Amino acid sequence: MPDTRIADAHALLTDSKTKTSGGSLAIVGTGMQAFSHLTREAEGHIRHADVVFHCIRDPLTLADLHALNPNVIDLTALYGADKRRSLTYVQMAEAMVAEVRAGRRVTGVFYGHPGFYVAPARLALTTAKGEGYDTRLLPGVSSLDYLFADLRIDPSQSGYQALEATDFLLRNRPLVTSGHVVLMQVGPVGDLFRPVTDNLERRAILFERLIEIYGEDHWCVDYVGATRPGQKPVLRRLPLKAYRDPANLKRLSKASTLYIPPKDSLENDMGMAERLGIGALVGKPAVAPAPDATPVTLLPSTPPAVSQAYYTAMKTIALDPAAAQAFRDDPVRYVTGFGPLSEDERRWTAAMASAPVKVVVAAVEDVQDQNVSTEDVQDQNVSTEDVQDQNVSVEDVQDQNVSTEDVQDQNVSTEDVQDQNVSVEDVQDQNVSVEDVQDQNVSAE
Ligand SMILES: C[S@@+](CC[C@H](N)C(=O)[O-])C[C@H]1O[C@@H](n2cnc3c(N)ncnc32)[C@H](O)[C@@H]1O
């Protein structure tokens, strides 16, 4: 059985087969909330496509799509009663790739992040790339991103696992109970067909397994993010045992994502802290500056020294895929067409011009090795020097992130996490019914 992950990696990395003309495929996401989450980049790919395919049910998102491009085809028509969803996904992918083969610039639109639990998008990308067409997968705001925001969870504390509910049960995947756990597709757990039904027996099996792992009093949140501006999310916080009641099982929706907070907290490994040279700091609060230390004065930010030409060129590339292609073909020529550049900007642009060669070399070696090592990944991208030239220095990157110390300073215990989240009252305040949210999206896993 070939490893499809390797095939995917091959497809993503191999540039040598890319056709120089003809069709292309961009897969974009709308994010979770109509209007608000669509990235400028995704909007550009929708606006400039010859044909747009979508798998969107939310009417507002759909209206937005039609406003951006009149040539829109609805893939949801391929769902059929009592039809395996996996078959539908192959058909959806084929429909998109057929247009790519006909030489058209195709954009496939899915809700959320289009590479996150979206089988037809992945199939279409792998097929089109395998046949030598230019393909892109653009990131979007996923339900996981949305959950982190609405539940105010920062996975830097405790880490997290995100699992598909059926896959979790089928493979008996171990849960890391010291971290945040997110289960996707809990409503349709065990369901391989369309339309998805409310199968309470299967949902009950899921919760019994969770109770075995966490105990019946551990709480969880049934989370459904708002898909319309102004709408509130559904956040139903209940102990796991509450799901022994069929009424609660029934309230789970196709759009429900289940959040389970950490149960155990782990102690610092002081031996490791010593080896890392931070033994004296770990577990201790940062020392406050002496009272007589000179206070830092915060000043209004100074606009960066970016030339108008470089600013306009970069923004145009971000919004228009044809401009991005022209840039990739000849970065120096493209950017200098916008006007005079600073010396740094000329250097950054020249560095872009030399980057793709490295991608091809790394890709061929990766495929031969059938394994992508950390070094390969570094090679695939522009070199460290290029990155330093273009943007922030390595030190900046280090500074920008929180240090172990910062994390410890935040002093967030498991209990805090529980407190920080939503209460049952929050849920009662909400004016959106589960049914409303269910109808809006949710297709194509
Ligand atoms: C097929 S996956 C699609 C995921 C999507 N591509 C994303 O970026 O989140 C469907 C699952 O996404 C999650 N989901 C969909 N809509 C959601 C919403 N409004 N709020 C929370 N989770 C949602 C649920 O776990 C649902 O079963």
Statement to judge: residues 336 and 433 lie in one domain = no
> What CATH number should be reported for the domain holding residue 151?
3.30.950.10
Q: Kindly report the protein residue whose alpha carbon is nearest to atom 25 of ligand 1.
A: 184
Residue whose entry in the numeric block shows the structure tokens 């606006």: 47
DSSP tag of 182: E
Q: Half-sphere exposure (CA, 13 Å, Cβ side) for 157?
A: 21
Contact 203, 239 (CB under 8 A): no
Rounded to 5 degrees, φ, ψ at 198 are -85, 85
Contact 192, 445 (CB under 8 A): no
Last residue of a domain, one of 141, 172, 192: 141
Reported as a single tens digit per residue, the pLDDT across 323-373 is 998 999 999 999 999 999 999 999 999 988 776 544 443 443 333 333 333
Statement to judge: residues 9 and 89 lie in one domain = yes
Residue 291 lies in a domain: no
Domain that holds residue 185: 145-265+413-440
Residue 300 lies in a domain: no
DSSP tag of 402: P
pLDDT band at 13 (very low <50, low <70, confident <90, very high): very low
Statement to judge: residues 134 and 122 lie in one domain = yes
Report which ligand 1 atom has the smallest distance to the Cα of 147.
Answer: 21
Last residue of a domain, one of 94, 119, 141: 141
In the residue annotation, 146 being an active-site residue is answered as no
pTM: 0.78
In the residue annotation, 236 being an active-site residue is answered as no
Copy the structure tokens of residue 209.
């397994």
Copy the structure tokens of residue 155.
């996975």
CA distance 144 to 181: 11
Catalytic residue among 57, 85, 105, 237: 85
Has residue 70 got a pLDDT over 80? yes
The answer to which of 31-40, 111-120, 164-173, 387-396 has the lowest mean pLDDT is 387-396
pLDDT band at 193 (very low <50, low <70, confident <90, very high): confident
Copy the structure tokens of residue 274.
């010593």
Residue 274 lies in a domain: no
CA distance 352 to 348: 6
DSSP tag of 34: T
Q: What is the mean pLDDT of the chain?
A: 80
Residue 423 lies in a domain: yes
CA distance 85 to 82: 9
Last residue of a domain, one of 97, 122, 141: 141
Ligand 1 binding pocket, CB closer than 6 Å: 32, 112-113, 116-118, 142-143, 184-185, 223-225, 227, 254-255, 257, 437, 441-442, 444-445
Statement to judge: residues 363 and 399 lie in one domain = yes
Confidence (pLDDT) at 231: 96
Statement to judge: residues 418 and 395 lie in one domain = no
Confidence (pLDDT) at 211: 98
Statement to judge: residues 108 and 162 lie in one domain = no
Residue 280 lies in a domain: no
Has residue 59 got a pLDDT over 90? yes
Q: Judging by DSSP bridges, how do beta strands 105-110 and 51-54 pair with one another?
A: parallel
Statement to judge: residues 125 and 12 lie in one domain = yes
CB neighbour list of residue 233: distance below 8 Å, 6 or more residues apart: 146, 150, 223, 224, 225, 226, 430, 432
158 CA to middle of ligand 1, Å? Answer: 23
Statement to judge: residues 162 and 187 lie in one domain = yes
> What CATH number should be reported for the domain holding residue 8?
3.40.1010.10
442 CA to middle of ligand 1, Å? Answer: 6
Statement to judge: residues 87 and 207 lie in one domain = no
Statement to judge: residues 231 and 333 lie in one domain = no
3-state secondary structure of 277: coil
Residue 301 lies in a domain: no
Q: Judging by DSSP bridges, how do beta strands 105-110 and 219-224 pair with one another?
A: unpaired
Statement to judge: residues 321 and 393 lie in one domain = yes
Percent of the chain residues topping a pLDDT of 90: 66
142 CA to middle of ligand 1, Å? Answer: 7
pLDDT band at 2 (very low <50, low <70, confident <90, very high): very low
> How much is the CA Rg of the chain, to the nearest whole Å?
25
Residue 278 lies in a domain: no
Has residue 437 got a pLDDT over 90? no
Catalytic residue among 79, 104, 105, 111: 111
DSSP line for 218-272: -EEEEEE---STTPPPEEEEEEGGGGGSHHHHHH--TT-EEEE-----PPP-HHH
| Average pLDDT value for residue range 386-395 | 34
Give me the number of domains the chain comprises. Answer: 3
Confidence (pLDDT) at 355: 65
174 CA to middle of ligand 1, Å? Answer: 22
Statement to judge: residues 166 and 102 lie in one domain = no
Residue 384 lies in a domain: yes
DSSP line for 59-110: HHHHHHHHHH-S-EEEGGGG--TTEEHHHHHHHHHHHHHHHHHTT-EEEEEE
